[in-house]
Amino acid sequence: MLSCHDIHEMTSDYLEKRLSLKQRINYRLHMFFCHDCQRFLAQFRTTIRTLRGLRLDEPSAQTVDAQVEALLKQRRDQK
Amino acid sequence: MDEQELITKLIAGDETAFRETVRAFHSSMTYVARAIVGPGSAADVVQDAWISVIKSLPQFESRSSLKTWVLSIVSNTAKSYLRKQGRMIAMGDAQDIENVGLNHDRFLNDGHWANPPRAWDMNTPEHLLGSEQLREQIFKTISELPENQRAVLMLYDLEQLSFDEICNILEITDSNCRVLLHRARTRVWQAIEHLQAR
């Protein structure tokens, strides 16, 4: 029987469908009885969906300008 | 603009295309560079990688997405930078992985929760993303992650690259990649819990 600690460790693999059939059955069996782990799984799933809804921080306009200028210069020098 | 059109414009030296590409790729490139060489040298690596990208673009064969290809160039540039400095590549270091998991005081010796997860005030991503305080806390937590965890989290959950692509870019094993991802997500879950728990 898996412990709550085991469940925590396996949760990303469970959500990414990376567990074997036996591990998956044991995971679900634990979930059936454990209210705390049910809550953990729901919160972890929400955490991942929240992360996927974040937008990557864009570089500053200064960084973009400097990089583009360097690339254009590089290209001119290549010719 | 589709990817082929973008590539054609980049090869032609179109400034707008350069600007759009730098804006879209620069952050991910920096995460990969920081994961391999650390924060001090990442800007130099990204700079050199861009130059390699521009030089090599005519040879790009579209076997992967442009972004994956660009990130592989960052990874190679970073590794060659380390080699030149005689430094070792330490991605996915086992000790780093082991030391940053969920606090063991969350569990009893028998593996049950000692401090079970508490109910959250907000239960949906839409609500969580709508809170400026929470968004800031999540970004702060991500910025404090070890470099390798942050790179895997950003590439998998935000950029939605595959495990295979990430393992190739960062040269880590599949199992290390999964552990790093889980540790990083756990940190973010704990950060949300800290603000949200009733």
- pLDDT category of residue B69 using cuts at 50, 70 and 90: very high
Instruction: Examine the pLDDT at B32 and tell me if it is beyond 80.
Output: yes
Taking the C-alpha atoms of residue A61 and residue B114, their distance in angstroms, rounded to an integer, is 48
Structural domain for B162, as ranges: 94-196
> Complex ipTM, two decimals?
0.87
What is this structure's pTM?
0.84
- Residue A35: pLDDT above 80? yes
Q: For residues A35-57, b (16+ Cβ closer than 10 Å) or e, as one string? A: eebebbbebbebbbebbeebeee
Question: Cα distance from A34 to chain B (closest Cα, Å)?
Answer: 10
CATH of the domain at B8: 1.10.1740.10
Report the distance separating Cα A47 and Cα B186, nearest Å.
9
Considering the domain architecture, whether residues B164 and B142 belong to the same structural domain is answered as yes
Q: How far apart are the first and last CA of chain A?
A: 67
Q: What is the pLDDT of residue B87?
A: 67
pLDDT in tens, B125-138: 999 888 888 988 99
d(CA B190, CA A28): 23
> Predicted confidence band at B73 (pLDDT cuts at 50, 70, 90)?
very high
Cα dihedral B166, B168, B170, B174 sign: positive
- Count: domains in chain B: 2
Percent of chain B with pLDDT over 90: 37
- B113 in helix, strand or coil? strand
pLDDT of residue B54: 87
Return the higher-pLDDT residue of B49 and A58.
Answer: B49
Topology annotation, domain A4-78? Arc Repressor Mutant, subunit A (1.10.10)
Residue B31 pLDDT grade (very low, low, confident, very high; cuts 50, 70, 90) = confident
B185 and A47 within 8 Å at the Cβ level: the answer is yes
Task: Report the DSSP beta bridge partners of residue B197.
Answer: B120
Tally A–B CB contacts below 8 A.
126
